[in-house]
Amino acid sequence: MLKLKEKEKAIKLRKSGFSYSEILKEIPVAKSTLSLWLRNVGLAKKQKQRLTEKKLAAMKRGWEACRKKRLMITEIIKGNARAEINKISKRELWLMGVMLYWAEGHKERGKSSNVCFTNSDPQMIKLFLRWLQKICKISKEHIFCEIYLHETATEKAREIRKYWSEITDFPLIQFQKIRWKKNKINTKRKNIGENYRGLLRITVRKSANLNRKITGWIEGICKKVLRCGVV
> Which pLDDT band, with edges at 50, 70 and 90, does 177 fall under?
confident
Residues 181-219 pLDDT 10s: 886 645 555 556 778 999 999 999 999 999 999 999 999
Query: 30-44, 59-73, 95-109: which has the minimum mean pLDDT?
Result: 30-44
Tell me the average pLDDT across 27-53.
Answer: 72
Average pLDDT, the chain: 85
3-state secondary structure of 105: strand
pTM of structure:
0.70
- pLDDT of 35: 79
- pLDDT of 169: 95
Residues 94-118 pLDDT 10s: 999 999 999 999 887 667 799 999 9
CA angle 188, 190, 191 (to 5 degrees): 130
3-state secondary structure of 16: coil
- pLDDT of 220: 94
- pLDDT of 187: 53
State whether the Cα torsion 80-85-86-87 is positive or negative: negative
66, 39 Cβ separation under 8 angstroms? no
Q: Is the pLDDT of residue 54 over 80?
A: no
- The answer for residues whose C-beta is within 8 angstroms of residue 48's C-beta and 6 or more apart is 17
- The answer for residues whose C-beta is within 8 angstroms of residue 144's C-beta and 6 or more apart is 174, 202, 203, 204, 205
CA distances for 4 relative to 11, 51, 105, angstroms: 11, 25, 81
Tell me the average pLDDT across 109-135.
Answer: 92
Q: What are the residue ranges spanned by the domains of the chain?
A: 2-80, 90-228
Higher pLDDT, 99 or 177: 99
Q: What φ, ψ does residue 141 adopt, rounded to 5°?
A: -65, -15
Q: Is the pLDDT of residue 91 over 90?
A: yes
CA distances for 174 relative to 14, 72, 101, 113, angstroms: 71, 41, 22, 21
Higher pLDDT, 160 or 45: 160
% of the chain with per-residue pLDDT over 90? 52
Higher pLDDT, 31 or 210: 210
Q: With CA atoms as reference, report the closest residue to 179 among 200, 137, 149, 214.
A: 149
> Which pLDDT band, with edges at 50, 70 and 90, does 83 fall under?
very high
Tell me the average pLDDT across 34-49.
Answer: 69
